[in-house]
Amino acid sequence: MPRYLPLFALLVLLPLASCDDTTSPPADASVEAGPAPDQALAQIDSVMLREHIAVLAADEFEGRGTGTPGEEKTIAYIREQMEAAGLVGAMPDGSFFQPVPLLGSTPTDVGTLTFTPADGDPVALDFVDDYIASTDLDATEASINGPLVFVGYGISNPGYDWDDYKDMDVTGKVLVSFVNDPPATEDEPNLFQADTLTYNGRWTYKYEEARRRGAAGMLLIHTGPMAGYPFTVLSAGARGEQIQLATPPENPLQLKGWIPQPVAEQLAEMSGTTLAAWMAEATTRDFQPRELPVTADLTMTFETRTFEGTNVLGKIEGTSHPDEVVLYTAHHDHLGIDREREAAGEDGIYNGAVDNASGVGMMLELAEAFNATESPARTVMFATLSAEESGLLGAGYLAENFPVSLANVIANVNVDSGNLNGPTDDIVGIGAERSEMLGLLRTAAAGEGMTVTPDNQPNQGLFFRSDQLAFARGGVPALFLNTGTQFRGQPADYAAQIKAAYRATSYHQPSDELRDDMLFGGIVQQTRVAFRLGHAIANSTVRPAWNPSEAFAETRRLSEQETGM
Ligand SMILES: [Zn+2]
């Protein structure tokens, strides 16, 4: 999964409309295809899974940093394995490789953000401690200068009859916004899906809305409880290179960034109120956006470079509906090498065995399995994606530049960080409950004697944090296959224990390495379920649909219409 970097921009436009009604369960999409063939499932092999992880997570792959020699080795290995599994290149010219043009911007002068109140002395803030910022521009300088405009939660969503912008023209303004979405109320217990984080709550959405309205910049207010992680998580990499797609988004923001709670409190005070009062008023529909009696000034300079990551795309062509695609995805990048750690004599290689050599291994075993049985009716595509850790960039680029219309991509199954802790009785399908994928996943899991557990941390917004988001935003029903909650022969809290231990010791650390005590029973189960799911969809005429209340449903409708369906 990616870091919580606030610094990326996906290009696919999400429609504004979304309404809330997740209480009605999706129709159960049943599939007429017969059971998954045993000879295919038998191909899914723990020894080969371990071997793939051992290769990809080896030190010589240098942490698989995007655009590095480590990525070159990675994509060469994946392509060789895909070819051995009988796949052909899925690019229009038959190639396996899709170059992903990227732009890197490294701050050379972080400047000084200054708040100047109408009646009082300017306050100069410190980069990293008091704010972080980056730019959407492909430019060596970016600046903001002007009055701040407070926009509450920065959400405009007719589905909830919610509009924090009202009629205000914010063209060229620098906006200040909370992250997250407004809390549910007694009268509206399902407002913004209650405790489930909606896409309107994600910081990426706040920036997108600001761009749509032509703002010059945006500062997000970070509070620990609202963001779910400390400010230091954001600020840690802020002085380093920020990576985005080479083509900046439409209406790029000059500068976008975050301020921590104490600075937000200071800003509210300069505006003659308190942060608590801002929070209270922002939770109502009556909220009025307004210009604050405070101007903000910041100029930053950057050194830029353009370079390329590479997505790897293989496929098995469908026999009767080759134009329709079932898409498996797994990101192959990780964090590369930490040169500072290395210079200090420590292990600096981010091997990323779990995140996400494991998912790539699953993908290669899936390819083997499909190769061992009759070709499916629909095309099955296997994509390993670049630059996920930099903000789902490889996925975003693929979604924008897909070999066929996204309306013909029937479903996306994403795997990221497989279960190396042993077999479970259940499997988690993040986002499955948002579409008819839930019924399909249940059938696939039942084939392995497993049940499906809904997203058990809905407030974390995991659906928005791995590559499936890019395809969902393009309208493709998607899910993110995750580790179950009930480990066989273990106490009830075992899943929570291992998750906490992983977060504390290995997640995005050089210590995410292949270990002898890792157990492959769980990842084999996950791969078998993923096979059953994709195989069933690929041999049916089913087109799983989003729940009508999902914002992505409207995108799907529009893309199907455009394609003449
Ligand atoms: Zn990952």
45 C-alpha to ligand 1 centroid (Å): 22
Are 352 and 63 within 8 A, CB to CB? yes
Q: How far is CA 186 from the centre of its chain?
A: 31
Per the rule left: phi > 0, alpha: psi between -120 and 50, beta: everything else, 444 is alpha
Q: Tell me: the pLDDT tens digits for 219-255?
A: 999 987 766 678 887 787 788 899 999 999 999 999 9
Looking at domain 38-102+306-562, its CATH class is: alpha beta
Q: What is the DSSP letter of 425?
A: S
* pLDDT(390) > 70: yes
Q: Is the pLDDT of residue 527 over 50?
A: yes
Give the containing element (helix H, strand E) for 555: helix 551-562
pLDDT-above-70 percentage for the chain: 93
CB–CB of 152/286 below 8 Å? Answer: no
287 Cβ contact list (under 8 Å, min separation 6) = 152, 164, 281
**Ligand 1 centroid – CA 2 distance (Å):** 6
Q: How far is the CA of 64 from the centre of ligand 1 (A)?
A: 12
What distance in Å separates the CA atoms of residue 303 and residue 130, rounded to the nearest whole number? 23
Burial class (CB in 10 A: 0-12, 13-18, 19+), 97: middle
For residue 36, the CA-to-ligand 1 centroid distance in Å is 28
Q: What is the average per-residue pLDDT within 256-275?
A: 96
Which has more confidence, 397 or 3? 397
Q: Does the structure show a pLDDT above 50 at 24?
A: no
Q: Which residue has the higher pLDDT, 398 or 17?
A: 398
What class, spelled out in words, does domain 105-304 have in CATH?
alpha beta
The residue among 175, 193, 180, 168 whose CA lies nearest residue 24 is: 193
CA of residue 479 to ligand 1 center, whole Å:
14
Separation of CA 208 and ligand 1 centre (Å): 23
DSSP-H helix ranges across 506-550:
521-538
- The DSSP H or E segment spanning 415 is strand 409-415
User: Separation of 391 CA from ligand 1 center, angstroms?
Assistant: 10
Does the predicted model carry a pTM greater than 0.75?
A: yes
- Please give the pLDDT value at position 33: 53
**Ligand 1 centroid – CA 383 distance (Å):** 14
Pairing of strands 242-245, 174-178: unpaired
Q: How far is the CA of 311 from the centre of ligand 1 (A)?
A: 15
Please tell me the distance between residue 49's alpha carbon and the centre of ligand 1 in angstroms: 17
Q: How far apart are CA 242 and CA 398, in angstroms?
A: 20
Distance, in Å, from the CA atom of 206 to the CA atom of 430, rounded to the nearest integer, reads 22
pLDDT of 18 > 80? The answer is no
Distance 390 CA to ligand 1 centre (A): 10
Tell me how far the alpha carbon of residue 42 lies from the centroid of ligand 1, in angstroms. Answer: 27
Would you kindly state where each structural domain of the chain is located, as residue ranges? Answer: 38-102+306-562, 105-304
What pLDDT, in 10s, does the model give residues 507-517? Answer: 889 999 999 99
Give the pLDDT confidence of 422-452 residue by residue, as tens digits.
999 999 999 999 999 999 999 999 999 999 9
What is the whole-number distance in angstroms between the Cα of residue 333 and the centre of ligand 1?
A: 8
Q: What is the DSSP letter of 390?
A: T
* pLDDT value of position 26: 41
DSSP letter for 353, please.
Answer: I
Centroid of ligand 1 to alpha carbon of 451 (angstroms) = 24
What is the 359 CA–ligand 1 centroid distance (Å)?
A: 8
What is the CA(283)–ligand 1 centre distance, in A? 33
SS (H, E, C) 225-284: HHHCCCHHHHHCCCCCCEEEECCCCCCCCCEEEEEEHHHHHHHHHHCCCCHHHHHHHHCC
Cα of 513 from ligand 1 centre, angstroms: 14
Output the CA 356–ligand 1 centroid distance in Å: 5
CA of 323: how far to CAs of 150, 216, 344, 478, in Å?
48, 42, 53, 18
Average pLDDT of 36-54?
94
Q: What's the CA-to-centroid distance between 466 and ligand 1, angstroms? A: 7
Q: What size, in residues, is the chain?
A: 565
Q: How remote is the CA of residue 392 from the centroid of ligand 1, in Å? A: 10
Neighbouring residues of the ion ligand 1, judged by CB less than 5 Å: 1, 355-356, 416
Separation of CA 1 and ligand 1 centre (Å):
3
